[in-house]
């Protein structure tokens, strides 16, 4: 069983299921879901029951193992065909997050490295790989936190956007990992969390996990960042990333680019925290990043008893924006801290 206090998702090998916390029910309900079919898993990713680039990647790997275990294919050829169909289907659920396709491709490499073996051996290898990816995520995120905590030794407060903490990964998180590691080291850092319209990941999820961990947390509206920085309430901005191009252009939750622009104006360091798996060596710059467009209802209806906007008013709902590399102070990764101009040499 998954421990809500320590992990966001897990691999129930005994019952062959992907187990997740339903993040659409937080903060008021803590609900575990046990997912076994590709339709259930696709829906969980698409509707943000599980979200956050690293978490999506880990869950995709587990999903491929779960679906492979349930395969009734009798030949290797049929098994591979079914695997590739499932892979394409899952990748289509969230096209912007590179971790999803990265994890599926890691599972595919494992599959092809086992060609010629029995299907039982292949299935076991896929399960072992999924478990390895999960454990690696935990160690990777802690490493991000350790590098980040060093940068924040003289910082008392930070601003963050969306949710790039434990709920976006398995443990620790990316942008919040330095806060958690610093706390473990005896340094308490206050966090200002953008509410993050329209899905309120900051208000619902970041505030939930931080307060649960005993971190001093203040939720602010997305349009308050200039006030926060002008009045020197924070010493840094830390955000996560869904995809980072070769030149350092970074796709993250809509509103991130605005924060970077404001931070540059006020001379506040702007850090992107991400594992190396989020860097996309096949995308030259931000112009090549596909931006997911989501349902207008998330803006006009989702959080209201009655529709909030007039029926004839349209709503534009991009899930992400791209922050220019020139606005990023540094990337805090599991391999160290790098300037944008160094990225092309390390991926």
Active-site residues, by number, are 242
Q: Which of 155, 170, 171 is nearest to 238 (CA)?
A: 155
Task: Give, in degrees to the nearest 5, the angle at Cα 205 between 47 and 93.
Answer: 20
Q: For the CA atoms of the chain, what is the radius of gyration?
A: 20
Which helix (DSSP H) or strand (DSSP E) does residue 93 occupy?
Answer: none
Integer Cα distance of 137 and 219 in angstroms: 27
CB atoms within 10 A of CB 284: 13
For residue 226, give the 3-state DSSP assignment: helix
Integer Cα distance of 223 and 35 in angstroms: 37
Q: Which residues pair with 320 in a beta bridge?
A: 253
Asked whether the beta carbons of 182 and 189 are under 8 A apart, the reply is yes
User: Left, alpha or beta for 309 (phi > 0: left; psi -120 to 50: alpha)?
Assistant: beta
Q: What are phi and psi of 161, to 5 degrees?
A: -130, 145
User: Left, alpha or beta for 200 (phi > 0: left; psi -120 to 50: alpha)?
Assistant: left
């Amino acid at each position: 069983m998954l421990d809500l206090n320590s992990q966001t998702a897990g691999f129930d090998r005994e019952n062959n299921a992907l187990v997740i916390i339903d993040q659409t029910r937080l903060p008021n309900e803590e609900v575990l879901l046990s997912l076994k079919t590709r339709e259930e898993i696709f829906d969980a990713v698409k509707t943000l029951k599980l979200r956050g680039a690293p978490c999506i990647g880990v869950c995709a790997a587990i999903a491929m193992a779960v679906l492979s275990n349930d395969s009734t294919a009798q030949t290797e050829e049929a098994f591979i065909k079914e695997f590739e169909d499932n892979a394409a289907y899952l990748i289509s659920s969230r096209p912007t997050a590179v971790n999803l396709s990265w994890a599926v491709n890691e599972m595919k490499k494992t599959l092809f490295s086992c060609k010629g073996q029995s299907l039982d051996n292949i299935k076991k290898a896929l399960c072992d790989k999924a478990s390895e990816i999960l454990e690696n995520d935990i160690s990777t995120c802690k490493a991000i936190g350790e590098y980040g905590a060093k940068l924040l030794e003289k910082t008392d407060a930070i601003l963050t956007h969306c949710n790039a903490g434990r709920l976006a990964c398995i443990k620790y998180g990316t942008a919040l990992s330095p806060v958690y590691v610093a706390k473990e080291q005896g340094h308490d850092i206050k966090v200002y969390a953008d509410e993050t319209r329209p899905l309120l990941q900051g208000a619902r999820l970041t505030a939930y996990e931080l307060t649960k961990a005993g971190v001093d947390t203040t939720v602010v509206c997305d349009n308050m960042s200039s006030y926060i920085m002008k009045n020197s309430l924070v010493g840094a901005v830390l955000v996560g990333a869904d995809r980072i191009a070769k030149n350092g252009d970074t796709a993250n939750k809509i509103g991130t680019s605005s924060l970077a622009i404001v931070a540059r104006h006020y001379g506040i360091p702007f850090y992107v925290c991400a594992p190396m798996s989020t860097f996309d060596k096949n995308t030259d710059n931000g112009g090549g990043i596909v931006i997911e467009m989501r349902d207008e209802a998330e803006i006009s209806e989702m959080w209201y008893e009655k529709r909030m906007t007039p029926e004839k008013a349209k709503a534009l709902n991009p899930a992400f924006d791209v922050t220019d590399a020139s606005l990023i102070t540094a990337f805090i990764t599991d391999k160290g801290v790098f300037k944008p101009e160094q990225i092309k040499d390390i991926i």
